[in-house]
Amino acid sequence: MAKQSTVFVCSNCGNESSKWFGKCPACNEWNTCYEEKLTTKSSGGKSNSKRVVSPVKLNEVKKQDIVRTSTGFTELDRVLGGGLVKGALTLVGGEPGIGKSTLILQICDKVKGEGKVLYISGEESADQIKIRADRLGINNDDIVFLGETDIDIIQDAILQINPKLVIIDSIQTMYSDEITSGPGSVSQVREITSRIMKMCKQEAITTIIIGHVTKDGNIAGPRVLEHMVDTVLYLEGERYFSYRILRGVKNRFGSTNEIGMFEMKDVGMCEIDNPSSVLLSERNENTAGSIVVASMEGTRPILVELQALTTTSVFGMARRTANGIDYNRLTLLIAVLEKRAGLPLGNQDVYLNIVGGIRINEPALDLGIVLAASSSFRNIAVPNDTIAIGEVGLTGEVRSVNMIEKRLKEAEKLGFKKCIIPESNKKLLKDEYKLDIIGVKNILEAMKCLGLK
């Protein structure tokens, strides 16, 4: 006989409580509590036998080789650390229409010859998937489609077909009859993910699940979902730009914070081998407020163009707008310019943009932001063959950054002639470069190098 119980669950972290709460005691978020009815099966007075597990010495554990399968995309393989790992559970998240299903469907085609691929969709019918597959030119006889949302039926199908790769689109549409709450709830998502993870580990089946994101950009559902899976990938990009960035935020089989860059075309996702040259291809010459900076995304250096615009404010309070970087970081650097460099920006509207619609949060962009804003305010163009790298402190000092050698080699490869870097980084350089490397200690020295002070 089934028993019903009521629990109160936090939609942010999944914390459960027997009483209602206004503020979650686990994550301290307000107004995230909702009531959920759970149905549990009675044991009928019988004792449940549990298997006995004995701990083992770590030194006696035999190391097993990681078996990987290439996705057919060099960019995606880099983010994953070399390819899809056998028996691993990967979560792919992104905004609606960003291209998650398109990318996954292309992966299904590129693993042709590796075994059967089971594509499970709870959102689209077989006809809709077929239309997209024809548009992308996909022709793989090993792809099997299943339109189902019941996890029990899905598990039976997986065990019967025994595929090489399983795709679940999306995790928020799946449900279990054992839980009375609706699909997409915290309990449903947690239960479904747990059962999928257990099955893919036991049967050594590579599984990719697609997840929706909230308006804040996080995976919808409990945060425990990201902790349960082996790899978490985010597909990012602006709606009106064709470029897409696949960012790895968690990877148990490789490094994190690696990115892969794609371009959305009518034939699907096309990988970009050299993102720096693409992002700088339409840069104008001798334009005030424009400068190139070098960012590190994982182990890859990427050169992007920063554009700044300063205009006299017509309102009582000056505006600051940032697109692609943290807004608070921009306001901080403007305050440093006013205090340490004496630029009267208090009555100036300041707008900053990273060209290409990508977002970067690395502090090595600080020096470029300062120089771009100064260039726009002075109306003096920064030479097109100049690049800036460095973190700026509150006292105006330029601090060192990591992986300076890779950044300089990328700038040298793309034909830049001058590079402004922190003095502490210049002292530690061992290799010789064709670049004219200028070391600076503070923002005043950097501005004097470009005639902005």
Question: Tell me: the pLDDT tens digits for 277-293?
Answer: 888 988 888 899 999 99
From CA 289, how far away is CA 311, in angstroms rounded? 12
53 inside domain: no
Q: What is the dihedral sign for C-alpha 48, 181, 12, 19?
A: negative
Whether residues 12 and 80 fall in one domain: no
Taking the CA atoms of residue 431, residue 436, residue 438 and residue 443 in that order, the dihedral angle to the nearest 10 degrees is -130
Q: What CATH code is carried by the domain that includes residue 307?
A: 3.30.230.10
pLDDT at 1 over 80: no
Q: How many CB atoms lie within 10 A of CB 305?
A: 21
Using DSSP, state whether 422 is helix, strand or coil: strand
Q: CA of 1: how far to CAs of 39, 47, 50, 129, in Å? A: 10, 16, 22, 41
From CA 75, how far away is CA 71, in angstroms rounded? 9
Whether residues 118 and 6 fall in one domain: no
pLDDT at 45 over 90: no
349 inside domain: yes
pLDDT at 123 over 60: yes
Angle CA(122)–CA(126)–CA(131) in degrees, nearest 5?
120
Q: What CATH code is carried by the domain that includes residue 148?
A: 3.40.50.300
The 10s digit of each residue's pLDDT in 360-417 is 889 999 999 999 999 999 999 999 999 999 999 999 999 999 999 999 999 999 999 9
Whether residues 12 and 84 fall in one domain: no
Give the DSSP letter of residue 335.
Answer: H
54 inside domain: no
The 10s digit of each residue's pLDDT in 217-253 is 666 555 678 888 999 999 988 767 788 889 898 999 9
190 inside domain: yes
| 160 Cβ contact list (under 8 Å, min separation 6) | none
Using DSSP, state whether 426 is helix, strand or coil: helix
Contact (Cβ atoms closer than 8 angstroms) between residue 245 and residue 259: yes
Whether residues 317 and 229 fall in one domain: no
22 inside domain: yes
Whether residues 242 and 303 fall in one domain: no
From CA 145, how far away is CA 33, in angstroms rounded? 37
56 inside domain: no
Among 273, 289, 322, identify where a domain stops. Answer: 273
The tally of domains found in the chain comes to 3
Whether residues 371 and 392 fall in one domain: yes
Global pTM reads 0.79
Whether residues 431 and 312 fall in one domain: yes
Contact (Cβ atoms closer than 8 angstroms) between residue 424 and residue 399: yes
Section 102-110 average pLDDT: 93
Residues constituting the chain: 453
- DSSP bridge pairs for 290: 307
Parent domain of 301: 278-449
Residue 107: φ, ψ to 5°: -65, -40
